Structure 1
């Protein structure tokens, strides 16, 4: 599969789709939390589960905890992403928070905990997945999250995330009953699988060839932002002739990479090919596509 990017002005339809998807994903996640999970004291794990647990214990609004706990991650990731993607991230968080506050007084969509766990977990997982997929949010834990969702061996931070989720689910069982803990586990697993399905191809590496007259500047910025090797396949000429760069990037990093290239070269061209498993090393010996 090959994708080509030319020019600097994105399509208006693409921008509108991105905004609507980020907003819709945040609201769908809020529906899953407030109309299905919260009324039955079900905890989906993660930051949402911690927020729900504290909301039940303190009787404060869920939306307040969601905003307070997610905001630090956005601020910490600000150095890794440009302003546009930081705004998308903040928009998704605001929609999730506002949707949660607006739906707080609505009655539960179902009186049975099992349907609530199923529907709530799916709404939460798909809502977060849509927001991540269309908003281009690749930082704030995105790299490790996508690695975990893709089935890669867990690393230290990912093990900590698993332990964190176990503590939340066990705390919910001790406080609200082990029947609720069982339904919480169902909601958590469904949310995880829905998120995995939404991001199913985002963790695949993509071979990226960049043709530009500002190769060195783009290479330096990509090294700083994506923190990965970027090779110069062909150096640019002394009179502004274009050179060629090569690197690997995930689907979540495509928008960031494209934005960086076009910031330094409005006429830069990008060719992206999906990498099949086991062929990554061969790409470094591959000639760029014509």
Structure 2
């Protein structure tokens, strides 16, 4: 299977660099949690915030809950991502967990909650972003990151996510004080923005043209996996002439797309080009339910 880029080709990172970056991203996130947020009882929201809350309540180590609560997401998303991505995801989670356990007994890096919220939120967001960027993921699935970068979670999930985060912050505020809840909100917002900054160019929409002798099979599997419209431009001919399939994908989805196409037809050709036209990019939105 050949993959060609009509625009500037994205950088290909060596396996060693990816391993170091995924692990290092988890460690940076652990620094933000253990040296800044946890000592001041600040909860960044999400699964990480829930892990921190339960760690405070049980007086057990944060790393244990980070691993236990994130592991199910990796296992549930295994069918939607390639084995290689799943392994990098697990490595990122192990880096986050190991870093949290190693830093548990270190004193707080700062004594005031406001700078702790700022530094902790930035470290957490940048660390997770680095881990995602180089192939691992410590806070959800690849598909969730694509949706985050393109405007947020699905509409059906917005209210449960908001209620979940509000419940964590309210409960944390009732336990540790409302000043801590305010600083927790600051940490959460900074972590969110730092994550978006780390991944800002991974959401760039790319036009993908696939030439294969099995275009209909590829179209069907890509449409199921990417959850968006995939166009059959030209069917395969009666004498074995290859057909053409068109779709849009982000750089974060590139490996998943290539794996699906490769599984259908090893001799297919993939041509990737930047999609800058707004009318074309509109196809990148997820299909409406039903």
Instruction: Find the aligned partners of 1:214 and 1:138 in 2 and give their Cα distance.
Output: 35
Give the corresponding residue for 2:243: 243
TM-score by length of structure 2 reads 0.85
Aligned to 1:257: 257
Aligned to 2:288: none
* Deviation readout 1:18-52 (Å, 9 max, x if unpaired): 22221111111111101111111111111111100
Alpha-carbon shift at residue 214 of structure 1 (Å): 3.5
Once residues 138 and 72 of structure 1 are traced to their aligned partners in structure 2, the CA distance between those partners, rounded to angstroms, is 11
Shift of 1:212: 2.6
1:54 maps to which residue? 54
1:90 aligns with 2:83: no
Kindly indicate whether the alpha-carbon contact (under 8 Å) linking 1:81 and 1:139 is maintained by their aligned counterparts in 2.
Answer: no
CA contact (8 A) 2:222 2:257 kept: yes
Over 3 Å counting, the alpha-carbon distance change for 1:59 and 1:138 in structure 2 is closer
The corresponding residue for 2:131 is 131
Cα 1:138–1:207 change in 2 (3 A) is: farther
Aligned residue-pair number: 278
Equivalent in the alignment of 1:79: 79
Secondary structure at the aligned position of 1:135 is classed as coil
8 Å Cα contact 2:93-2:138 kept in structure 1: no
Structure 1: give runs of 5+ residues left out of the alignment: 285-290
Q: Secondary structure at the match of 2:249?
A: strand
What's 1:288 paired with? none
Q: Who is 1:199 aligned against?
A: 199
Q: Give the distance between the partners of 2:245 and 2:266, measured in 1 at CA.
A: 16
Map 1:180-219; keep pairs closer than 5 Å. 180-219=180-219
Distance 1:136 1:97, change over 3 A: closer
Unpaired stretches in structure 2, ≥5 consecutive residues = 285-290
Could you tell me how far apart the structure 2 residues matched to 1:49 and 1:197 are? 21
Q: Who is 1:113 aligned against? A: 113
Coordinate RMSD, CA, aligned = 2.8
Paired with 1:88 and 1:26, the residues of 2 have a C-alpha distance of 11
Partner of 2:151: 151
Counterpart-to-counterpart distance in 2, 1:187 and 1:94: 23
Aligned with 1:111: secondary structure?
coil
The Cα offsets for residues 190-242 of structure 1, whole Å up to 9 and x where unpaired, read as 10110111222333432111123333343333233223332222233455543
